[in-house]
Amino acid sequence: MSSGYVKNVAFVRPASVYNIMKEYDLVHKWAKNEGEAKKKGFDQPEAPHEQWHTDISYIKVPGVFYYFISIMDGYSRKIPDWALCENMEGINIELLVARVKEKYPEAKARIIHDNGKQFISKDFKSLVSLLELYETAARVCHPQSNGKLERFHSTLKTEHVRKTPYFSYEDAKEKMAQWIDFYNNGRLHSALLYLTPADYFEGRKESRLAERREKLHTADINRKAYWLQQQQA
C-alpha cells in the first residue's frame, strides 16, 4: 500500500491468535446478549456508497466543547469526510453531506441518521433530495441502527482524543486529521477481517486476503524448515 502503514510481515497463524484471545477471554467480548432480537438495524450494505452513517459527538478542546460531525461509509467503515464545528447548526451537516457527494458524484447512498433536529429539518431533506441521495432516521431507542458510527466515535476518543494534548482548535483539527487518515488507511479493523477501511472502500479486499494467505503459507513453510533444521543440527 502507498500509505506505508501496513508492514509486509506475517507473524503467527490465525489459530494461534484465536487461542491467545480465548485464553484472555477476548473472543466473546462483543457477543450479543441472550434474548436480543436477531435482526437489528438495517440490512448490511454489500458495496461502498450504499449506506452513509452520520452523527454528532462532543469533543473537548482546551476547556471548550466542540461538535465533531462525520460521515461513515457503512460497507467499508471509511470516514470520507468530517468536521469539527463550534455549534450544532444544521448548515454544518448540510455542508458536510454536500462535500462528500462532490467527492463521489456517482453515489446514490442512503444516509442513516438519528432524529436530531439537524437531520429532520426541511433544509436537510431538501438537500438530500437535490443531491439524489436518500435518508432514513434510526428508530427511537434503537441505537444499533447507527452503531457503526457510534463505535467509531468511541474509538476516536479512546485511541486519540483522550491521549492527545490539543493546544488550540486548529491544532486539534490537524491532529485529528492525521489520526483519521491512519484509521482509514492503516488501522486494521476487526470487523473487516483485520483489513483497513480503505482496503474495502477501494476494492482491495480479495487481493489483500490473497496476499495474507500467501504470507501465512510462506511463513508456515519457513517455520517447518527452521524446526527441521534444528532437529538435524
Structure confidence by residue, pLDDT tens digits, 32-60: 444 444 455 568 899 999 999 999 999 99
Fold of 42-202: Nucleotidyltransferase; domain 5 (3.30.420)
Give the SS3 label for residue 137: strand
Asked which of 17-21, 55-59, 90-94, 112-116 is least confident by mean pLDDT, the reply is 17-21
> Among 79-83, 95-99, 136-140, whose mean pLDDT is lowest?
136-140
* pTM recorded for the entire structure: 0.80
Helix locations, 42-168, DSSP H: 90-103, 117-120, 122-130, 147-159
**DSSP 8-class letter at 175:** H
Q: What is the mean pLDDT of the chain?
A: 87
Task: Enter the DSSP assignment of 168.
Answer: S
Please, which pLDDT band fits residue 84 given cuts at 50, 70 and 90? very high
- pLDDT reported for residue 16: 72
Both ends of the chain: CA-CA distance in Å?
39
